[in-house]
Structure 1
Amino acid sequence: MLMETLLPFSGIIFLIALGVVVLTQQFRKNLYREQLENEELKRFHQMELVRSSILVQEQERKRIAQDIHDDLGAVLSIIKMHLLQAERKYIDINAQLPLEIQNIRKLTENVIENMRRVSHELMPPQLEKFGVVQTLEQMCIQLTNSGKIKCEFSASENMNSEYSNDELLQVTLYRICMELINNTIKHAEATFLSLSMTFSDSEIRVVYRDDGKGVLPENTTHGTGLKNIQSRVSLLEGNIFLEEGPGFSTVIQIPFHLKNSLLVGK
């Protein structure tokens, strides 16, 4: 009789214990899911802060470049004009142009040239006007025409039109590619480089190669350049792969879905 009486209670206790185990597991699952969601939300906010910071920096670069061009450029042009007028006075009286004026004119021309270079490095005017594809294409043409290195460039036809309204993406792609090109010119001792940009339904793909001496150790300037590239690729939640072989070769993949998120973040 006692056993028959205890059996129902044992079943009830077992069910209660089972329920406690199930509830505990469910609680842990919910807690783990909540932690993942919080971490994802935190990561998203951090990325948004980084994107906003980068966008502000690029806008400030643009403003400084415009100020240099408009203000300093105008002053230097006036100085050069006065120097030319002074030179004409000496020419009109068949007098020898003083060496000081010649030196000042040469220095002024050098300053104007350096000012234009710095202004273009801060924010190339053609990037805003024509987009990253045409800007890089013209850069490669200029490199090849310089005779220092042969540059080949290719891009899918719909690449530029798909992303032309996304300023942050355009500028970041430009900075990445220019960092790669500068690394090759400064450190690789290469005679040839190629850059291709293709667009698909899922990603942007950048393939870069040169015939130089390859990747240098991390503690060199070249290594620092690669770190800068990696940080910009991470900003776009992309991946960068270094390929083995002669010279330097890398593939950069940037997810397509970022088109919308970057536009929202502008």
Structure 2
Amino acid sequence: MASVSPILVDRLLAISRALAGHIDPGEAFRATAVEIGRLIPHDHMDVAVLMHEGASHACYEAGYPTSWSGLAQEPLPTHRSPVRAVLWGEIPHLLTGDAVADPRFHFEGALDGPIFSAELRSRIVVPLRARGEIVGALNISRHEKDCYTLGDVGIAQHCADFIAPYIFALIQAAGAQRAMLAEAEARSREELLRVGASRLTEGMERERRRMAMDLHDQTLADLARVARQVSALRSQGVARAAQLADLEREVVSCLTELRHIVDDMRPSVLELFGFRDAVEAHLNRSVSRAKPPIAVGIADASDGSADDLPETTRTALYRIAQEAINNAVRHAGASRIEVHIASTPAELTVAITDDGKGCRPAGTNSSGGVGHMRTRAALIGARLDIGRIGPGGGTRVEIAIARQADGENVAKPVPASMEAGR
């Protein structure tokens, strides 16, 4: 650097001090822009940095802001860059007195809008090099025409050579961090699905055992009793009207129990009549034998939005509501249970409330039915919030799921909540 003037050396040292301590490439570049401005006055300065083995480029700006700043988060193809000739090493630099009229910056598909909107007329473009290769370009601009000379190009190149390794290293580190976070998120989603599938499999196995016990302990016992009654009538050779009426009631009871079991296995009302009617049918069936009686209510202010969801999502939502109703009936000691369905352009919510004894505070282990509810909610990207209504008791279970035009659902953060491990 024997040909470098003492003033330039002082400025380069100031640039070095400005770089120190920054770990964000954009902040580091903006810090250096102030010191570079003491050498080359400018209204706008940016670095275009090659990404993905040169296929795309990102951009970091200082000074007058433009739409190029969006390239920091969403890199675009390098062939669309107005300074692609420098990025590709086709020319050593670009120097123009009026970039607005210079055809080298304008071609079909070029991202040249900011040159016009920000009136970036005088421009210097020099390459950034690291490890002997071009990794980007430093672009310095002013609104006025004909502000820069070849001498300014040389100074700009010195600055570019000085900042390139540091900026490039920060960008590489930021990219590695993003890749690491993306991999961690992917692993987390994969683990969630694995654990969720395992829990659902276990839950389904328990449900199969429960249904087998229901069939054995109640339906099969009722059918055996009916068979004994038929056998007794046959041996008597005659059946009185009262005996036939009893037999008919037994058969109807068996059919009713079988329908309940089949509905639990395959929610036919959901498929035939929709979400609201299916929830109402389950609500009424669940409280039909409650002692003392439980009053119920259901309101759908969503205009049937639940039925617009994909079938698997709607079924999971129904299962969650079903479990919440079952918990309220079996464990809450409630005198009233209400279901409210509502929607906004952003999300659909289903809330199940009761006036029972309430739930245990957050931190209680989510197992059994509540655990299944949380697993189902996580697998469809829904938010599940379970908590007390007030200090006197009562519980509210709310399921919220994002609505999108393409029918996909987006996971939402799960807030701190109360769990209904009743």
TM class by smaller structure: 0.5 to 0.7
The letter for the 2-side match of 1:233 is A
Pick which of 205-214 and 246-255 moved more: 246-255
**Which of 404, 408, 420 is 1:257 aligned to?**
404
CA 1:132 to 1:221, structure 2 compared with 1: closer, same or farther past 3 Å?
farther
CA 1:222 to 1:179, structure 2 compared with 1: closer, same or farther past 3 Å?
farther
**Which of 291, 296, 304 is 1:151 aligned to?**
296
Cα drift, residue 127 of structure 1: 2.7
State, as a whole percentage, how many aligned pairs show the same letter: 19
**Which of 272, 277, 281 is 1:138 aligned to?**
281
Greater length-normalized contact order (CA 8 Å, ≥ 6 residues apart): 1
Q: Give the secondary structure class of the aligned counterpart of 2:322.
A: helix
Structure 1 unaligned blocks of 5 or more? 65-74, 96-104
Q: Give the secondary structure class of the aligned counterpart of 2:407.
A: helix
The letter for the 1-side match of 2:402 is P
**Does residue 30 of structure 1 match 2:175?**
yes
CA 1:233 to 1:93, structure 2 compared with 1: closer, same or farther past 3 Å?
closer
Q: Give the secondary structure class of the aligned counterpart of 2:401.
A: strand
CA 1:57 to 1:132, structure 2 compared with 1: closer, same or farther past 3 Å?
farther
Instruction: Name 1:211's counterpart in structure 2.
Output: 355
Instruction: Name 1:174's counterpart in structure 2.
Output: 318
List aligned pairs for 1:81-160, cutoff 5 A. 86-92=231-237, 115-143=258-286, 146=289, 148-155=293-300, 156-160=302-306
**Higher normalized helix content (fraction of residues):** 1
Pick which of 78-87 and 125-134 moved more: 78-87
Q: Distance in 2 between matches of 1:226 and 1:59?
A: 14
**Higher normalized strand content (fraction of residues):** 2
CA RMSD of aligned residues (A): 4.8
Pick which of 191-200 and 113-122 moved more: 113-122
Q: Give the secondary structure class of the aligned counterpart of 1:260.
A: coil
User: Please, what TM-score do these two structures have when normalized by structure 2?
Assistant: 0.45
Cα drift, residue 191 of structure 1: 0.5
Q: Distance in 2 between matches of 1:258 and 1:55?
A: 28
Q: Give the secondary structure class of the aligned counterpart of 1:126.
A: helix
Instruction: Name 1:232's counterpart in structure 2.
Output: 376
Asked if the contact 1:132/1:174 (under 8 Å) is kept, the reply is yes
Number of equivalenced pairs: 243
Cα drift, residue 119 of structure 1: 3.0
Q: Distance in 1 between matches of 2:363 and 2:250?
A: 37
Structure 2 unaligned blocks of 5 or more? 13-156, 210-219, 241-247, 410-422
The structure that has the greater radius of gyration is 2
**Does residue 191 of structure 1 match 2:191?**
no
Asked if the contact 1:76/1:112 (under 8 Å) is kept, the reply is no
User: Please, what TM-score do these two structures have when normalized by structure 1?
Assistant: 0.67
Q: Give the secondary structure class of the aligned counterpart of 1:21.
A: helix
Deviations 1:186-224 (A, max 9, x none): 211111111111233211111221111100367989864
